[in-house]
Structure 1
């Protein structure tokens, strides 16, 4: 592109040449200085005349450069000689030799009557750290018999921990003309400590309940503080950990940048006489005088030389104060023996037998201890890994007579290759029996052969219900549920234990050779069951109409402390334990039964569950079982629905909720319904959600419960759902739709759906309930369907039809 070269000031430039840039955007030119007097102020632009661009119009920015005239130096003229301490892009390494370079330009100092070299110039350097001089030295430069002497000197610098985190280098020289030139540069260093601390785990990953060795290394006789915290705890409040930045911020001084006002020298305005305009600096200005250089590193000079340029000049009775790079008038002034003005001072401021894993220990803080490393400087600590499937973040710092040290952060990941989960009620009456279910999840990508065995006990009897399936194949990402009929015989708290073991087998699974995990081959889960004596007082309700302010769930909440649970496990298990806590809190609050003790306990559980669930959040706002792979549509909606309700009890970051809403909206099809995405291991969590219609109804209910506007995505979803009501063969879907259209205020569609539900209601022993089929055996699914019907009726009527509680005999 064409560019135009000018000389002079912007308001009165003189055209010099037309230039054209090459493919790299560079234009070269040559210029004779024979016709110029003084310094040459060059300007370049993309237009034939220099001016200012019109308002809000794209333009190329013009630029300028000043070429200083090289002249013989004297005490009465401003030198254009300079020093430049070269900076580095990367921090200086600790305990490693670094080379610091100083470039010099000496102008007009090499002539003595035109014969022989004038002599030498000593370039002196100071290294400052934490407000003190730590190193000083000198490099000698020979001044040749020529107008301009240029070159580079260097010195070696080894950064010690006592210099961290910043180093300042000042270079200065006294020229033969008795002019002082100076320059400085700041260097950051690695954040190192005199006590080198490290922490390692062997092995670096583990399975729940496995033994591991924690090795702490530091200077001999160091006392070290060590902690390991569940990663989910740190997600909610990042930045709460100890790091090198926080340690160095405790130092009273890391580097200096000014001289205190009360020790600065007073400077009177200097009377001057006019001289011609001469730019004082090479390259158009920007090099501070020696006084300012030293001031900017907190150094006050005691000298009889003129190192400071005046900040105030007096001319014809008027005082002119220095601004940014120039005085208030466009002339340069000089008093005898005093350098001319410069920039204003800156005032800144090996193989083992199978391990049997019995998971009962789920802490948030695993290690919080003091460790003495002794004379050897090394200590091995034997530990047992907790049962939580998570990543533990460690922190270690040490104190010794030789100083402080902080270890780099280390993580140890706890992972279970396969996982066992039990499903049983909270309590039961002796003489009753129930179905004990054990579900095994394979988190590996390969097939395994698993044997599931309950632990024998005199407190209960078990009758198998799953035939010959108790030893069977379980391939990658699959799950299998096995059942027994359990009849307790002992009273009180009975511990129910089930053992799952990966075993070797000659039988292939899906044409794949069975593998056996090296670690975590056995998983044992123990759950307590309360067995009550026969004749326990029971409450039965015979009313057809109930006041909605009544304690509908009074019986179920008799054992409230047992219903509240600490969430743990993967993204599915954590939510299955977190959500009930929210509904219990809502119930107690609305019935004015929420005591401070129960609220504190429950909100602590909610906070822990919220923090843990964020481990399984994707960057796009979706959630999945392990936080990797494809986001799961239903699980994301479940998390969204739960977090929205939990907001009234604990802090939930609104950005997490908004991110999930945005992701769910991105899964909406053109017809308004939502597509199914991702894999769910524990399908029973979804209840009756089995197709896109029920999934869409579930997501729409979540949006409406959040009081989202019935526009856009919600309106489109309602339209899709309305088209599906011609087929009401699925009772779960019908009940969920009735609730959705109640929330949406569509009373006509709601009435149509409730009318159909009245025709399929089941009546047993004077109680009403709904099930997917008349022979449905899943009590939990029946409770969910009946609950949606109840919600639909409650949301628009001051009375509620009594729904029999199949959970009454099981205390919820």
Structure 2
């Protein structure tokens, strides 16, 4: 088995051919030429690995020559980069060339698992496990494939399938078994392939058994998930003892339809309410990266957390590098949705979107202290927004959002103007700036109608930033009269019958921002803010985010500002969690405030109590994960989708369904369940020469 040298290097007097890839232990061939020397030259060819030099050729000549020779490649256990070095030297001439070569381990046979490594088999479902054997030898072999025995699963041979087979040069063969897992979670599956003796000929050749590498065993990890959609319940507490012990209790009960063995409990403790979000910077929002709105919802929280860590001198190089990586990639991605006039829209086409453009301006203005933001593009964006200001000072709403939930409660001209004005004030634009001055005049005319709680909260924050303390006091006084108070918790909803958790989080976060942004801030303001924070912390999910997009963005901005205001370099606390199986201790101090301390608990039902002693705040979370054992009946799913300006990839998003459309293919997540859809019709209907309307009707029968 010989490697032919393939790469050509040429200098004044020499030409050398070598390969970029060599099989370990094989016979490799190398060719070198000395070209028209005008003096006596010495050519030395070496292979360099781990600071050891092996001379392959050394020859002196004053005549042209061409030499091809064989050498044995070194043996390695794993892929290894080595170097060829060619040196030509004479009295008046010297030349050195180096090139890298990859040495790959000798593997006459290997197998790879070809199925995806994640399965949802439920209790009884079986699936097919496949393994493919490759023969890298130049001769035929008889290969026998054997899976390893395990208590975690059962592998059953398929009917009429032989697990010994001829495999000739560069051939491959796939073997399959029926697999029935007996556990949930990660399990390892091992399969061995062995070249064996055989009296039967393979393709009219005598079967070869290699001296080395007769047996190859590969272990593949498989993740077996329970049937049903995993449900996560979180219980959060922010406990700040001041010389007294603080205690909270919770009783966990499993739903009746949970899959046996699939439930789990996670307990986590931090010394900082933003620590959980910091740990999951890339996972706060479980959503795709498909458009400009979603990209910004993922980018903005990084900025507020970075600002907090920088302002409190907790920003380490590792955290900074991680966050800046997200910021940089998010910034570059967002530019794909920028229009030439400076506006931004969902997909970068059609009309610019007023709210999204303001969101981008606000975020990029803050991000420029961490990464490079093109000031020319920022000025274009600001100018585009300013042109949308009407004579009365309010801003005109343009463009459609792909997901209206992205803009939270910004639903009318007044709230849109308040959002844009707050964005400009956050970027340190002066209240005397003509654009800001006119927008504030528009907003003052709207303060007589306080029927919309969201608008009132956003106005309170905007006038706080503007330094209009009289209007701020009027708005906060009204908000205080309609606040929902329970014990030490404080929050707001849009109406008494409003059930939107995300809107309640966003409203409460704007009130918190208004309470914290005044200067100077009184002790009363801080105490009032603490009650809002305690409620907000209770709404966090297991990743440190919240239930939706804008509520996560605004809430983390508010929590970051609160954490900056109350940050202390002193104090320590001990957290004790009592569970049915025992006691768990955690220490929170100044050295580990941002350390995410987590333990998996064996008990999934019963009473849990959390006790905090000391002088430092502790953020405690108990997360319960329970995939329900839901049996889905046969059903037909009908979806009609209208597309204008069809692109290669389009996302359709609603409260119950997310669809990704490729040409002639539609994939949807329907009520958190991935559904593959078959197109039953694709009918183009032309309305004009520039606009087409495509009607797609998709149907899929889903059964379990």
So what's the TM-score if we normalise by structure 1? Answer: 0.33
Point out the structure with max Rg over C-alpha. Answer: 1
Greater length-normalized contact order (CA 8 Å, ≥ 6 residues apart): 2
